[in-house]
C-alpha cells in the first residue's frame, strides 16, 4: 500500500469515528489558523517579514507580546493587537466543524490555546468554549480597576502598518478611563484577568464529567509539540483521537494520525461524511 492509499484509509477511519460518535471535543492549536492566511509568527524571521520596520528596531514577537507596551507605548501596543484583531477571520473549516457538532445528540465542546476568537465568531455556543489563554474579542482595564471583562465590540482602529501604531486613541476602560487591553495572557503578564477563562475551565470539566459514558471523538487541529497545551488536553480526554497536523501528527496508540493541513483534512472528511 502506498502513502496516498494509506492516507485515504486514515481519512475514512476519521470519518467513521466522527459519524458514530455521540459528541465531539475540538482541540485547537495555532496551526488551525494558517488556512486563514495568518502570518507565521512562530519565529522572529516570520514576524519580521510581516513587519520589516520592527526588524530594524530588533523587536521580536515575544518582545511586543508583552503588557509593558500598553503602559509605555499604547499606540504601538494597540497597533500590534489591533492588526491581529483585524487579521483574525475564521476559514471554512470552522463551519464544517460546527455542522458536525450540531448533528450530535450530546453537546460538544471546544478547547483552544488560540486567542483569535474564531470559534465564537463562527457561531459556536460561547458556553461550550474554553480559551485557556483568553480571547482578543474581550477587553480588560490595564489597571484592573473593577476587575471587569467586556466584549471588544468590533474594534475600529486605524493602523499605520509601517510603524505598527494606531492613529488616534485606542480603547479605554469605561469605569476609570485608563487604557484598555485585550483580555489575553501575554508574556510576563501578572495582570491578566483570568476570571473569564477560569469559568470556562469549570464548564469544560463539567462537560467531561457528563461524557463519562459517551462515545467521544477528539478532533485535534494544528497543535504542535513546541507549545503542547492542546495536545495534553486531547490525550487526557477519553475517546478516539484524530490528530490533524502536517508535521506532528503522531500520537498514542489508537490515534488516527492525519499529516495534513486543517482545512484540507476537514474538507476531505466532510466529503466522505456527506456520501455516507
Spell out the domain ranges in the chain. Answer: 1-38+91-133+195-276, 39-87+154-184
Q: Pull the grid cell for residue 188.
A: 510576563
Adjacent-strand bridge partners of 241:
218
Q: How far apart are CA 94 and CA 222, in angstroms?
A: 13
Over residues 68-115, the pLDDT tens digits come to 999 999 999 999 999 888 877 899 999 999 999 999 999 999 999 999
Residue 126's pLDDT is 95
pLDDT score at 47: 74
Least confident of 158-162, 184-188, 230-234: 158-162
- Multiple choice CATH, 1-38+91-133+195-276, 3.40.50.1220, 3.40.50.720, 3.40.1010.20, 3.40.640.10: 3.40.50.1220
Encode pLDDT of 13-36 as tens digits.
999 999 999 999 999 998 898 887
Q: Do 74 and 179 form a contact (C-beta atoms < 8 A)? A: yes
Give the integer Cα–Cα distance in Å for 176 and 197. 23
Full DSSP string of 50-62: H-HHHHHTT--HH
Q: Are 230 and 111 in contact (CB under 8 A)?
A: yes
- pLDDT tens digits, 47-62: 777 777 788 888 888 8
pLDDT category, 1, cuts 50, 70, 90?
very low
Please give the Cα distance from 31 to 143 (Å, whole number): 32
Q: What pLDDT shows up at residue 228? A: 92
Say how many Å lie between the first and final Cα of the chain, rounded: 24
pLDDT number for residue 203:
98
Are the beta carbons of 177 and 186 closer than 8 angstroms?
no
Summarize the confidence of residues 222-228 as an average pLDDT: 90
Query: For residue 164, is pLDDT > 60?
Result: yes
Do the Cβ atoms of 90 and 36 come closer than 8 Å?
Answer: yes
pTM for the structure as a whole:
0.93
Residue 241's pLDDT is 98
What percentage of the chain carries pLDDT values higher than 70? 94
**Alpha carbons 234 and 90: distance in angstroms, whole number:** 22
Query: What is the three-class DSSP state of 219?
Result: strand
DSSP-derived secondary structure letter, 134? E
Amino acid at each position: 500500500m502506498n502513502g496516498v492509499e494509506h492516507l485515504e484509509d486514515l481519512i475514512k477511519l476519521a470519518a467513521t469515528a466522527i459519524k458514530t460518535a455521540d459528541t465531539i471535543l475540538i482541540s485547537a492549536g495555532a496551526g488551525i489558523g494558517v488556512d486563514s492566511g495568518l502570518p507565521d509568527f512562530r519565529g522572529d524571521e516570520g514576524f519580521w517579514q510581516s513587519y520589516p520596520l520592527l526588524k530594524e528596531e530588533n523587536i521580536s514577537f515575544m518582545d511586543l507580546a508583552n503588557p509593558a507596551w500598553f503602559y509605555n507605548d499604547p499606540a504601538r501596543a494597540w497597533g500590534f493587537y489591533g492588526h491581529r484583531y483585524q487579521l483574525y477571520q475564521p476559514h471554512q473549516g470552522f463551519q464544517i466543524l460546527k455542522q458536525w457538532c450540531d448533528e450530535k445528540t450530546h453537546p460538544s465542546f471546544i478547547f483552544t490555546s488560540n486567542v483569535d476568537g474564531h470559534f465564537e465568531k463562527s457561531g459556536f455556543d460561547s458556553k461550550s468554549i474554553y480559551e485557556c489563554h483568553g480571547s482578543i474579542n474581550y477587553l480588560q482595564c490595564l489597571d484592573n480597576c473593577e476587575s471587569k471583562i467586556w466584549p471588544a465590540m468590533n474594534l475600529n482602529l486605524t493602523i499605520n502598518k509601517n510603524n505598527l501604531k494606531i492613529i488616534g486613541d485606542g480603547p479605554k476602560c469605561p469605569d476609570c478611563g485608563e487604557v484598555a487591553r485585550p483580555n489575553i495572557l501575554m508574556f510576563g503578564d501578572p495582570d491578566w484577568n483570568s476570571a473569564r477563562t477560569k469559568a470556562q475551565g469549570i464548564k469544560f470539566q463539567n462537560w467531561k464529567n457528563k461524557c463519562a459514558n459517551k462515545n467521544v471523538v477528539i478532533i485535534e487541529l494544528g497543535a504542535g509539540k513546541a507549545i503542547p497545551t492542546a495536545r495534553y488536553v486531547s490525550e487526557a480526554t477519553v475517546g478516539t483521537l484524530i490528530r490533524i497536523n502536517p508535521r506532528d501528527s503522531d500520537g498514542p496508540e489508537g490515534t488516527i494520525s492525519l499529516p495534513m493541513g486543517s482545512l484540507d483534512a476537514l474538507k476531505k472528511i466532510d466529503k466522505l461524511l456527506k456520501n455516507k
